[in-house]
Structure 1
Amino acid sequence: MNKIGIISSIPLPEGGSGYESSLAAVNLTRAPGTGRMFLPHKEKNNEYRTGLDPDALYIKRIGDAQSQKIERDKVLKERHRLEDILKVDLSSRSDFYNIATWTPGSKNKLVIEPVKLGDGKTFFDLEDPLQAVAYAFLRVHPQVASSFEAYQRGDFPEARFYVVDDEVEQEITYRKKTVLNKAIFTLDNLSLEKRKKVARQCSLPVGDQDKEQVVYNQLDSFIKQGTIKSGPFEGANGVDVFMRFVTISDEVLHVKDLVRQAITHSIYRKDRLAKLFDGEVEIAKSEDDLVDYLLDEKHQSDVLMLEDKLRAKKSILL
């Protein structure tokens, strides 16, 4: 059985009034026989978004490195396959994608054709190279959502169609769910002391006197928030930041926590260039530099001294 690609129209919302609500009432998205014609989207740099370019702008904008790699590997493999069959250049600036280059006098020239998407599902036989090329550019078109789930999240507000069960979207979703589940499992099995240390590394306002419920709830929300909107980890995924700190050794985590608390409790001062000062004396170019210094076996007395200073500072605040 040939592999099939499917793109479906997005159902219209039910209720309300007007023509669209009448269509929705009979499970239609547009008048019978009508449709929308698509050609490859042209980027601002004049490259076509082909779905077959591993260096495409939309791939570079994928924030998650693993998701980016999955997409890049997929499109590169498919491009090689289709170029071998069609014997035509499928690069992002190829005339193949420029329908204006076709004339009646060049009717034997291979060139992209518009694709009509109508109501319901449109099927593409991916063993047919021209249908596979069409499906490739449609599935990455900005007005075609990568999945119905992505449309519901608001990632494609202008879309009227979506890719049904696209394997890349499914693989990305699978990865995100497994990483999230692993992170929650890890959180459940941490001691309260380590939860507090990890939380502080994630820039959460957690103190020694905070109860277990408070610490757990903050970390759980941090992990599940998705992309971090502000702060030192802006743009990163909460689950990735959490796993970064929870997987380092206890010794490194302890020293990093000491340094972070020393700054919070004003034992050390950080300037606008991130340098650390003890009074007016510069002691490190950054937090990481100070952590590296304190992890050196030759400087363990400095670690003990910092622990004493921190205990004394906290005792004053009690």
Structure 2
Amino acid sequence: MSESKAVIFGSLGPRLSAEEKAFFSGERPWGFILFLRNLVEKAQIADLVAEMRDCVGRPDAPVLIDQEGGRVQRLRPPLVPIDYPSGAELGAIYRRNEERGLWAAWVLGRLHAFDLAPLGINVDCLPLIDIPVAGAHDIIGSRAYGDEPNIVAAMGTAVARGLKAGGLLPIIKHIPGHGRANADSHLDLPVVDTPHAELSKTDFVPFKRLNKEVMAMTAHIIYSDIDPDECATTSRKMISEIIRGEIGFDGLLMSDDASMKALSGDFADRTRAIISAGCDVTLHCNGDMDEMRAIASASPVLEGEAKRRADRVTASIQTPDNSDEAALREEFASLLAAGTA
């Protein structure tokens, strides 16, 4: 059996086309990611996930989704029981009562696992542990748990633990911190001019605290005091000295979406830049076949340290605990009601 390539792909619709099946079977991406366009009803989602894994011949292949809460949640009612609260709403509970806030964060993660695991989804792109600042673009905004590094770290840790208790794996994002971005990296390349020393005392703190998690997603942001030329995703200095060095993250490092306009060049060039900078895996989300072919052509087979980290990811999936779903849902509703009272 051939080895996996260092890439995660999306697909275009609720089922794989014959072209997609042939492409994924031939290129063998390490994982997949789902979006709203892929989600119709529960049995269909489970079938799509199974199709993806069948293509690569790996029943434990990572299948990702962005299920945060607030304005970023791909699964909404009736596919899940409720619209989940944003990070800011959870942070408000913490500010009223620290213990309740941390418990609400854990329960959120555990409820996401109850929703996602039966569909075959085994990775949630959460927790978001970015710290927004006044005047920054609102691409992070209410998605964040707050603006105090220790609170963000504590809440992110609790969410990650809840996900893992339900058999899902978290991804910490957007390392080393997206909260100061002055633009939406989907559309433009943000530049953060904050001094390195200040970033170390603020933005980097939650990532240091969660540096033992097995996956992280990069930020498409230039931190000009560290590397004025390349964004974190494509900066060897940022990855080696900051993410691997100062922050101490040794898990699987994946890029944010390679199709975002913060990056430049054709898709093969983007992929080579992402991998040569030190990312283990390239993420590509939109399912465009021409873009995926170009990315696949430049994606190496997972080997060496990247393969070690990838193998650690799949080995880290836990058997779900024996939490009572109905009881947790009732308790979560009470926590939310108390938090807004």
TM-score range, shorter chain: under 0.3
Q: Determine which structure has the larger helix proportion and give its number.
A: 1
Rg: which structure is higher?
A: 1
- Superposition TM-score, scaled by structure 2 size: 0.22
